[in-house]
Structure formats: C-alpha cells, structure tokens
Amino acid sequence: MFTFSPLQGALSESAASQSILELDGGIKILVGVGWDESFDVAKLKELEKQVPTLSLILLTHATTEHIAAFAHCCKHFPLFTRIPVYATSPIIGLGRTLLQDLYASTPAAATTIPSDALDGVSYSDHDASSDFLLQPPTAEEIATYFSLIHPLKYSQPHQPLGSPFSPPLNGLTITAYNSGHTLGGTIWHIQHGLESIVYAVDWNQARENVYAGAAWLGGAGGGGAEVIEQLRKPTALICSSRGGEKPSLSGGRTKRDEQLLEKVRACVAKGGTVLIPTDSSARVLELAYLLEHAWRVDSSSGDGKLKAAKLYLAGRNAHSVMRYARSMLEWMDDSIVREFETVADGSRKNTADGTKHGKDTGPFDFRFLRLLDRKGQVDKVVSHEGDGQTRTGKVIIASDASLEWGFSKQILKQLAQDPINMVVLTEYPPLASASRPSLARTLWTWWRDRQGNATEEGAASPQEIDFIDAQKQALEANELVRYQQWLAQQRQLQTTLQGGGVATLEAPGDVGDDASESSSESEDSEDEQQGRALNAATTLGQVGRKKAALTDEDLGVNILLKKKGAYDFDVKDKKGRDRMFPHPVRRKRADEYGDLIRPEDFLRAEEREEGGGLDTDQVGKGTHHDNLGKKRKWDDIAASNRNKGPHGNKRPALTRAVSDEVPVASPDGGADDELDAIPEDPDDAVNGPSKLVLATEKVTVRLQIDFVDFAGIHDKRSLHMLIPLIRPRKLILVGGSSEETMTLASDCKKLIAESSIAIFTPAIGKTVNASVDTNAWVVKLAPSLVKQLKWQSVRGLSIATVTGRLLALQRQLAGDGEGDSANKRVKTEETQTKEPAEAPVEPTLDVVPTSMASATRSVAKPLHVGDPRLADLRKAMQQSGHTAEFRGEGTLLIDGSVMVRKTATGRIEVESIGLPMGGPANQIAGTFYAVKRTIYDNLAVVAGA
C-alpha cells in the first residue's frame, strides 16, 4: 500500500514543499519541511497533527522552499526532535547557515501566537488579537537541531531507524541520488516491499558551472541513453511540475551566462550598481563562481569593462557558506574538481622549483569578490559614490531572492530611486499570498508587463512600492500580563498531558532541573491515555477563566499532590492511574553522553576567588562576615543569583557564534581596509517577550528591472524527454501552479500510452492511492512438496523454484479432535440440533503427478537471480590469484586479457582477446572461464525441471 498527501506546494503558486508518504504497515515519511516568505503558521497546522505518527523525515534541498520550517518545528512541535532525519552533508551544513541567516535577519520568521490561543487569557475590555511573537530558535539551538540529522552519501542504500512511536519499518531502504539544482540536492529512492518510489522535486538535468546534472542518466559524465537501473520503472514517480511550460534556452548554459554578463557590463559601464538577489546557501554558489571568474578573465584582457567595477557578496553567514563550499568540492561538478587539482598541481610545481609566479586561486578562493556580513559594511558600500568625478560601478549579490528579508531588501531600498541602477531577478518569484505579494514578485510583474508592452529601456515611468519593515518591540503592562497568562496556560496543559513532567515552554536558562530524578519511559495504559486526552479537552474548554485551573474531578488522584489539605482519595471503581498513589516523575536532563552537569559546580578555588571572592552558586543572601561558616538556605542562594552584578559569573564566556564564521582574507590583498574596520552590528535585539510591529513605507522605484533565469530547474524539454524514459507505473505531479501541473499532465498522456501509466494531480491536503497494481494470493505448500524444494542462497535470500499442482483442500479446524473446554459446558441437546459447520477451503500446491511431470518439465526455463557487483568480482578474482583492476567507470580488467563490463541496464558483458589455441591461449582461456565461473557462483540458477 502506498498513499501520497501533499501538505504544501501542490496546485499552488507557493514554492514551499511538504509531502507525506504512507506505506504498508502505517509507516509515514515526511519529505521536505519547506515554508515560504509569508511565515504563516497556519500552513504548518496539518504537519503538527501528523508529527506523532511520523516514522522518519527526508530533506531534499537546502533552500527555504524545502527546509525553512525545520527549526520552527523542532522548537515548537513536541516529539519532532525524536523523529530521525536523513539528508546529505551539504544540506546539513548549508541548511544550518540558511536558517541562522533567516532568524537573524527578520523577526517575522519567529511567527506570532494565534489569536484564538489568547482568547482564554484576554480581559473582557481588551481585544484578543495580538502580534505576540513566539520564542525564536537561537543560533545554538539551530546548530543542535542540525547536528541530529543523519548524513548520507549518494548511491548509498541505507535502512533507517524509525522514531520511537513508529511501527516496524520491515526492511525499508532509502537511497539518495544527485538531483542537481543545489549542492547536495537529492532524488530519493524509497524501497519497501513491492513499492519502489522515486521522489524527485526541483531537479535539473543540465550541467552547470558548479552543480553536476541529475543522476537520471548516470550523473556527470554518464551520457547514457537510458535511465540508470535503480531509478527506472518505479511503481510511483513523484515529480515537480514547476517549469513545465518553460521552453529551453537555445545556447544552454553559455547563452544564459552571457546574458547576465552583458546586462552587468552595460550597467557598470555607466557607473551604476547592479543588485542580484539570490538565496544565501544554494544558488548563490553558481552566481558567485560565474561572476568571480568573469572578473578574472576580464582583468587579464586589456579592454575589459569589469576591471574597474567592484564585486560584493552580502550575507550574514557568507563566510560560513564559502568555507563549506571549499570543503565540499567532491559534491560539485567534475570541472570544479579538475580546476582545484590543477591549482594544487601548479602550487606543488612552484614549490619544487623554488619560484613563485603569483598566488594561484582555487574555485572558491576569491580575488575580486568581497564578502560583506555586517549591516555597516553594506551601508558603506551602497552609500559610497566616489569622489565626485566618476562613479564606480558595483555588482552586489545579496540574499534573499524574495527581497522580503536579508541584505537584498535593504540594498534595494537605497538603490530604488536612481535610474542608473539595476536589479536583475534570477528566479521566478512564487506567490505566497495573493493579498500581499513579495517585493520580488511585484518587480517581476512590472518587468513582464514592460516586456509585453515592448517598452524601451529607460522609458518606464516611476512606480511606487510598499516596503514593510518588521521590528520587535518589548511587551508592556497588560500585554506582558496576557503573555504570562498564556504561557502559564500552556505549561499547565503540558503538565496535564505529560503526567507531571517538566514543562518545555520555559526559556533555556530556566529549564535546568539538576535536582530532578532520572526515570525510564513511562508505559501508560489505554485508559490513562484517554484520561489525559479528556483532561486536556477539559482544560481547553475553560477559555473563559482568567487562569487555566483544573477542577478536582480533572485532577483525579493528583489532588493529593496539587491541593493543600487533601489527604484521602477514594479509588473504588476507578480506572487507570486513579487507582494508584500518584508519583511525580521528573526527568533528568541528559544527552547522548550522559547527565548534563553544571560547570560552575566544579570551579577551582582560585577561579572562585577571582573578582572579589564571590562564587556564582555558593554565595547566599548575606555576604558579610557574619554569615561565614553558617548553614546556607536554598532560598537565599536563589535570591542572590537574581541580584548578581555584571561580575556574577567568573567563568569566561564564549562570545563566538556557533556558526563559526571565520573571516576569509582576500587572496590578492585588495580588500578595503575601511570595510574591515567597521565594527560588528550592535546586538539591539529585544530579549524576553516581544511583539511584531510592521512599519510600511512607500518608495518610488526608478531603477531598471531585468530578469535572467538562474533557477536551475528542469524545463519543458527535460520533463518531456525523461519521464517517458523513466517509465513509471504511477506519476504524481506536485510542486507547481495549477496551470503548469495540468499542462504537464496532459503532455504526459500524449507522450505515454494512457493505459500504461496513471497520472495524479492531488491538491493540498488531498490523499491519492498510488499502490502498486499487483494481485497476490496466499497458497499453502503441501508437506510432500516442501521436502522436494532445493533452496539456493543469494545475498542472504533463499530462492527456490516451485512446480506443483493447485488443489482446493478443506482447512482443518483448530478445535477438531480435542475439543475446547468452553465448548464442553454447552448443553447436549443444543449440540445435537446444531448442524456441523463446513470447513473453509484453501488453495494448496501439491506434488505434480508422474503422468504430468513430462509436460511441465519442457515449459519451465532456467532463471538467473542476483545482481553481481564488479567490486565483489574483483575481490573474488584477487583471492583466486588473478590480477584485477578497474579501468574506467564500470569496467574491470582481469589478468590483462579479460574485460568485464556492467551496463546501465544491469547486463554483464565478458570479453576476451582472441589468440590461437596453445601456449598462452590456454592460460587466457583459463582466465576467461574462471571469470565466468565466479560470476555464476554469485548468481542463483533456478531451474524449473
């Protein structure tokens, strides 16, 4: 069984991607945790309901459309962090920097508390609606969440472990393949029983400057005419339809790159500034590599126009992204690897000769691209216009592509009113909200209208656009009281649901419970679970109260703990936990290394004496000499901790961020010293409860707007070519607008015979059944037939061929012969009047009679079962005393005379050089037959006779 349900991104203009795959046995897989720039928490409601039933999570790309909601779910959804997550190493590293950049750039990403959740804590004379912000995940918490992800490599079959509340996975296997589009982008192949599912969203078959093409035809350098065997003929293919109406660009990648460079040259030649908005972790690598190498080529020529212009990359985690890129060259295209090897070989030669011909630079060792990670640096670059004589052209790559957050929004606001400047959109902007389109969507709409009206360049009239600035503001007076009451209500609800466990809504500094006792997982009965659900429902129903208090009936046996003066409880006719004396189970904070400890408890005496001899945890309320030697009280210690001065903690604090942003020096030494001298951005963030305040400003836009497609998404030609080659039994189209999805579905029906494929176009929240079309029957084998079976073992599987005669035999009832003790109590007269029940009939395979054996023997044909690997063949031949080595991809040379190849379809080809018999020919023939014998030994030859 296989059902598919898209949670986001189906038949929608929004690019966010979330999907639920449910397999036989109740196994649920979440693929993608995407979000859009609206940060609407209502779009995650369905995902929150599914969390307790999920078995594992798969991530596909390190972009906001596929991973933006990951930290939010880990922070605010209980049990989400207990679900195993799988992704490639680049997605883990670049996804972490992306979300750290997102939450540091806009407070809107933290999302607001829904107004209906505040109804129960609102005063009668106050409006229940609010913009109270939830606590956003910190940089340290984001790093912790991504450290829990299990890294995988391409083409590495893996049997994952399910979540603690997941049913058995029963041999589920997942395999990641390169999808192109982003670094570490993944096409997932999921194998479970008879189901073979390929999940391919936002892939790109074409090779680019940095990213290799998708692995459909063998990946980089594959060049095959057929899809690789592992991805061919799946029972279900889940494919994105985005770009299904986009025609392919004549000239390919070279033409696309030249279009961008021509627009950049034309603008910087006039002294203008070009803004290129992009994401901060994925497509930014393609643009940075292209422009850096264009500047290198231009600087070597005599009449280059780019030589005098400045090139910048603005992003809060730009240094971290580039450091990750330098360490992940093996995940990029082969041309990047060859370029790096050429630079490394040149450096070694220069070192050996003792001469220096200038410092060689690798693919991502920038000579012209300057990284900006501070707001002050960006302001200085944009506001600097030269000394009054001539303006210096600038090109700024900035995040984010939506222009709703990040440095790109700030730069656009400062460049908008100068007609000499230009913004070049590199991706088709999705529409997250029809009532409030993003800035990038508005600019793209203006560009499309100007293209349709054939407006000449520079002749467009100025237009106004609304810049909405999101800011955090601390709560005051009644707002703070309402927030505290809401927080108390949530803690009470969690206490009820968890049976007295520690609340999880507290701030990180308040959740420490070092005096708590360790305990194992509680095994609650079904009645207890139902009781907890009823308690939660009762609490939620009391929205009219000022505080979320529980009645005596709701508390049950917990009244002995929570109510003063209660010393007795009647357990008669009670069920579940109400029949047992209550015991509050407190969990001790621990990680994979054991119990968490407090470093302050292990300070040395000299460390405690620093700063006036005050200890952070050992000083009570009275610090005068009268208290020396006296017994301290816990309340006094807590009060002293609250009244500490700035020197309360004598342990040196770690001020470096978790992102490890180590500044990378410019190789040519030409970086502006004045930019390096700009201090770090002041930390003016509001600590504690806050609300979201939106300020709208109208800005007149006079700058030039242009568009060059650098999205790196499959186009119409790629979809029409590859889907018929993949030949899926079921095709599910998601990840595109309604027009794109329906157009691609109709095209696929024309390209593929309708009877051979079923095409589904589900909407958001709808479930489609795409189970494999097989007919399975249960047949019993007769004991006489089982004795004659000859089993063969192939990779841990036992295989045998069965030839028998199908008979309809009556099943023997379990109670026959012995009788049942319960049946003996039935009256004799009742048994005499009751007619005997007919035994059910079950199909049974029995031995073929001798008269029919000769007829069946001629029909059965031998069958070879197995999939021999060249690596195993090489090892076996070397153990037999032969020389075996790989020569090229998929080719094994044995004894220099026998060549073994494995084609993309899984076919094994063995070739030998032809020599006359006698002399060395006998040795060659021996090698040839030894190779064939070893191959057959790894196969199960199942004969039907």
Q: What is the pLDDT of residues 383-403, one digit of tens each?
A: 865 444 568 899 999 988 999
User: Do residues 103 and 280 touch, judged by C-beta distance below 8 A?
Assistant: no
What's the maximum distance between 2 C-alpha atoms anywhere in the chain? 119
Split at pLDDT 50, 70, 90, the class of 486 is confident
Residue 11, pLDDT > 80, answer yes
Angle at 215 between CA 209 and CA 217, to 5 degrees: 105
- Helix/strand/coil for 425: strand
Of 793, 804, 771, the C-alpha closest to 25 is 771
Type of residue at 606 = E
User: Do residues 379 and 396 touch, judged by C-beta distance below 8 A?
Assistant: no
Type of residue at 431 = L
Of 33, 19, 21, the C-alpha closest to 66 is 33
Task: Determine the Cα–Cα distance for residues 368 and 365; give it in Å rounded to an integer.
Answer: 9
pLDDT for position 601? 74
pLDDT for position 341? 86
Task: Determine the Cα–Cα distance for residues 250 and 253; give it in Å rounded to an integer.
Answer: 9
User: Do residues 392 and 255 touch, judged by C-beta distance below 8 A?
Assistant: no
pLDDT tens digits, 884-905: 988 776 788 898 888 888 876 6
With a CB cutoff of 8 Å and minimum separation 6, the contacts of 605 are none
User: Do residues 159 and 169 touch, judged by C-beta distance below 8 A?
Assistant: yes
Split at pLDDT 50, 70, 90, the class of 71 is very high
Split at pLDDT 50, 70, 90, the class of 503 is very low
Split at pLDDT 50, 70, 90, the class of 673 is low
Residue 209, pLDDT > 60, answer yes
User: Do residues 426 and 401 touch, judged by C-beta distance below 8 A?
Assistant: yes
- Average pLDDT of the chain, as a whole number: 78
- Of all helices (H) and strands (E), which one includes residue 277? strand 273-278
And the tokens for 143? Answer: 């790093």
How many helices (H) and strands (E) the chain has is answered by 26, 34
Range ranked top by mean pLDDT from 32-46, 673-687, 742-756, 799-813: 32-46
pLDDT tens digits, 358-375: 446 788 889 899 999 889
Per-residue pLDDT averaged across 688-692, rounded? Answer: 87
- Helix/strand/coil for 112: strand
Angle at 252 between CA 250 and CA 255, to 5 degrees: 80
Type of residue at 872 = D
Please give the backbone phi and psi of residue 40, each rounded to the nearest 5 degrees, phi first: -85, 115
Angle between the 89-105 and 139-147 helix axes, to the nearest 10 degrees? 160
pLDDT for position 788? 83
Q: 3-class secondary structure for 431-492?
A: CCCCCCCCHHHHHHHHHHHHHHCCCCCCCCCCEEEEEEEEEEEECCHHHHHHHHHHHHHHHH
Region of poorest pLDDT, from 18-27, 115-124, 248-257, 720-729: 115-124
CA atoms within 13 A on the CB side of 848: 14
Q: What is the torsional sign of CA 176, 180, 183, 185?
A: negative
Angle between the 284-300 and 252-268 helix axes, to the nearest 10 degrees? 70
pLDDT for position 211? 94
pLDDT tens digits, 830-885: 444 445 556 677 888 888 887 776 665 555 566 777 777 787 888 888 888 899 98
Regarding beta strands 898-902 and 85-88, do their DSSP bridges make them parallel or antiparallel, or are they unpaired? unpaired
Q: Which residue has the higher pLDDT, 89 or 830?
A: 89
Residue 513, pLDDT > 70, answer no
Of 76, 459, 570, 6, the C-alpha closest to 240 is 6
With a CB cutoff of 8 Å and minimum separation 6, the contacts of 54 are 28, 29, 30, 83, 163, 166
Task: Determine the Cα–Cα distance for residues 180 and 219; give it in Å rounded to an integer.
Answer: 9
Region of poorest pLDDT, from 143-157, 462-476, 660-674: 660-674
Query: What is the rounded (10 degree) CA torsion for 262, 268, 273, 277?
Result: 20
pLDDT tens digits, 292-335: 999 999 888 767 778 889 999 999 999 999 999 999 999 999 99
With a CB cutoff of 8 Å and minimum separation 6, the contacts of 861 are 944
Task: Determine the Cα–Cα distance for residues 381 and 374; give it in Å rounded to an integer.
Answer: 11
Percent of the chain with pLDDT over 70: 72
pLDDT for position 502? 35
pLDDT for position 762? 94
pLDDT for position 838? 64
Q: Which residue has the higher pLDDT, 751 or 512?
A: 751
Task: Determine the Cα–Cα distance for residues 534 and 912; give it in Å rounded to an integer.
Answer: 76
Look up residue 688 and give its DSSP letter. S
Task: Determine the Cα–Cα distance for residues 382 and 285; give it in Å rounded to an integer.
Answer: 22
Q: Which residue has the higher pLDDT, 180 or 223?
A: 180
Q: Which conformational region is residue 171 in: left (phi greater than 0), alpha (psi within -120 to 50 degrees), or beta?
A: left
Look up residue 158 and give its DSSP letter. B
Region of poorest pLDDT, from 3-12, 29-38, 912-921: 912-921
Per-residue pLDDT averaged across 508-529, rounded? Answer: 38
pLDDT tens digits, 765-809: 999 999 876 666 778 888 888 888 888 776 667 788 788 888 888
Residue 663, pLDDT > 50, answer no
pLDDT tens digits, 405-429: 999 999 999 999 999 999 999 999 9
Residue 98, pLDDT > 80, answer yes
pLDDT for position 538? 42
Split at pLDDT 50, 70, 90, the class of 130 is low
Walk across the sheet containing 394-399 and list its strands: 369-372, 310-314, 394-399, 273-278, 422-425, 704-707
- Of all helices (H) and strands (E), which one includes residue 143? helix 139-147
pLDDT for position 170? 87
pLDDT for position 30? 96
- Of all helices (H) and strands (E), which one includes residue 293? helix 284-300
Residue 709, pLDDT > 80, answer yes
Instruction: Compute CA distances 677 → 394, 668, 674, whole Å.
Output: 20, 18, 5
pLDDT for position 356? 45
Of 677, 654, 599, 679, the C-alpha closest to 139 is 654
Quote the strand ranges of 518-655, DSSP E: 590-591, 594-595
Q: 3-class secondary structure for 836-886?
A: CCCCCEEEEEECCCHHHHHHHHCCCCCEEECCCCHHHHHHHHHHCCCCEEE
- Helix/strand/coil for 198: strand
Secondary-structure breakdown of the chain: helix, strand, coil percentages, each rounded to the nearest 5 = 35, 20, 50
Residue 512, pLDDT > 60, answer no
pLDDT for position 857? 58
Task: Determine the Cα–Cα distance for residues 459 and 81; give it in Å rounded to an integer.
Answer: 54
First to last CA, the chain: 35
Per-residue pLDDT averaged across 565-583, rounded? Answer: 76
pLDDT tens digits, 315-325: 999 999 999 99
pLDDT for position 646? 43
- The residue behind tokens 């604090």 is 653
Region of poorest pLDDT, from 33-47, 463-477, 548-562: 548-562
Per-residue pLDDT averaged across 580-586, rounded? Answer: 69
Of 93, 192, 177, the C-alpha closest to 143 is 93
pLDDT for position 360? 60
pLDDT for position 706? 94
And the tokens for 159? Answer: 């049997």
And the tokens for 51? Answer: 């969390």
